[in-house]
Amino acid sequence: MATTDVSPIAIEPDPAADRDHRRDFSELAERLERGGRHAEAAVAAVQRFEVALPSWALATGGTRFGRFPGPGEPRTLREKMEDAALVHRLTAGAPRISLHIPWDDLHDLGEVLNDARQLGIGFDAVNSNTFQDQPGQPLSYKLGSFGNPSAAVRRQAIEHHLRVIEIGKQVGSRALSVWLADGSNYPGQMSLRGSFDRVRECLQEVYAATPKDWRLFTEHKPYEPATYATVVQDWGSSLVLAQSLGERAQCLVDLGHHLPNTNVELIVARLLDVGKLGGFHFNDSKYGDDDLTAGSIKPYMLFLIFHELVLAERERLPGFDPAYMIDQSHNLKDPIESLLQTVDQLQQAYAKACLVDHDELAAHQASGDVIMAERTLKRAYETDVRPLVAEARRRRGGALDPVLAFRAMGYRAQKSVERPAVVSTAKPTHL
Ligand SMILES: [Mn+2]
């Protein structure tokens, strides 16, 4: 899954914007230098940052009340990959797409691989789906998949995962992400321990079928669709699963999959501590699993999460290799614009975290200076790093301002002509 700088899509040069940028960046670099911090190290870090795009986020999402697609949306996996390639071209930070099976049409894998090669797009983790019944499927997941009391339903769910692994092998994936909707809506509906044991048992079989260089990610979620007791409802349950499966099983933290006010950076720290942080599904939420743009509601939390990640990177924690992916539902925004905005927000949060003076912070922590310790973090967080991330993108051939560059190139208008028929696929997007 080598990174490839993409494609023949041209970004129109804007000499005035370029001149302003160079001035802004050199002023920022100079100001940071005066405070003993170094812009170049942060630029280099942002240049290395990569996040995967989920195939389902390239078209408009929706709620159970409705879906309002826009013109020129991708109708096929090829078209989704075209859009993903553009997001990478403009942000220089999103070189891979994450497939969802069976939402993505993979009947001609040779063609899919050929398209991906042409577009310079790689494949990230593969995602299974046992939270919906598929056409022609003999047994229903209404009462769960791996946690279902019926052995036949569990077998069907396992077979699906084995197929997903086979597809993943062929496209060069290195991870399987499993999110289970299993749970109950009413007390007494299912055995709380029995359902968890069944899930663990099924996952053990799936884990054993993954190649030895793959990771298996389990993702927790407190509620929805199960409103009373989700089987993998919290990071504790996810951790128990990962620990009982083996070394290659790790926990995925979907930022929106937490109850309001949960301290997610603390969860990240705990998972890092036991070597079980697999990666992230980036998004944001105000109330619950709102699937909003990362950084749109709680940017300080996003920064504090990246702070934990930068610390782990600096300390070279054994096995630290987080997989980054976006998992959002774009119900109102143009999906491409929202993804451009998201990658930019992630680049900014990472850049800010790279600007924390760790020696200073450690000294304030050791002497118990609460005010100065917090100020050290806030000084990094409050730095306007926009010129810094723009510079990182520029050096990798991306755009200074991805959203403005996207609007200037008229891509959506062109696609509205090329992609006239909007396929109505009102699929749930809250993985
Ligand atoms: Mn997710």
Q: Of 51, 95, 125, 85, give the one whose Cα is nearest residue 336.
A: 85
Please give the distance, rounded to the nearest whole angstrom, from the Cα atom of residue 71 to the centre of ligand 1.
26
Tens digit of each residue's pLDDT (9 = 90 or more) over 17-30: 999 999 999 999 99
What pLDDT, on the 0 to 100 scale, is given for residue 6?
A: 41
Cα–Cα distance measured from residue 150 to residue 148, given in angstroms and rounded to the nearest whole number: 5
Tokens of 364: 């304030």
Please give the distance, rounded to the nearest whole angstrom, from the Cα atom of residue 343 to the centre of ligand 1.
16
> 408 by DSSP, 3-state: which?
helix
What average pLDDT does this structure show over 274-291?
Answer: 96
What is the maximum alpha-carbon separation in the chain?
67
Kindly tell me the sign of the dihedral angle through the C-alpha atoms of 235, 102, 246, 145: positive
Question: DSSP per residue over 106-163, as a string?
Answer: -S-HHHHHHHHHHHT-EE--EE---SSPPTT-SS--TT-STT-S-HHHHHHHHHHHHH
What pLDDT, on the 0 to 100 scale, is given for residue 105?
A: 87
What percent of the chain is predicted at pLDDT more than 70?
Answer: 95
pLDDT band for 253, please (50, 70, 90 cuts). very high
What pLDDT, on the 0 to 100 scale, is given for residue 392?
A: 98
Residue 30: how many other CB atoms lie within 10 Å = 10
pLDDT band for 4, please (50, 70, 90 cuts). very low
What pLDDT, on the 0 to 100 scale, is given for residue 171?
A: 96
What average pLDDT does this structure show over 87-104?
Answer: 96
Please give the distance, rounded to the nearest whole angstrom, from the Cα atom of residue 278 to the centre of ligand 1.
13
Please give the distance, rounded to the nearest whole angstrom, from the Cα atom of residue 222 to the centre of ligand 1.
12
What average pLDDT does this structure show over 195-200?
Answer: 98
pLDDT band for 114, please (50, 70, 90 cuts). very high
What pLDDT, on the 0 to 100 scale, is given for residue 420?
A: 86
Please give the distance, rounded to the nearest whole angstrom, from the Cα atom of residue 237 to the centre of ligand 1.
16
pLDDT band for 11, please (50, 70, 90 cuts). confident
What pLDDT, on the 0 to 100 scale, is given for residue 1?
A: 37
- Residue 425 vs residue 71, higher pLDDT: 71
Q: Is the confidence at residue 370, as pLDDT, over 90? A: yes
Considering the chain, what is the average pLDDT of its residues? 94
What average pLDDT does this structure show over 227-249?
Answer: 98
Please give the distance, rounded to the nearest whole angstrom, from the Cα atom of residue 257 to the centre of ligand 1.
8
What average pLDDT does this structure show over 90-109?
Answer: 94
What pLDDT, on the 0 to 100 scale, is given for residue 242?
A: 98
What percent of the chain is predicted at pLDDT more than 90?
Answer: 92
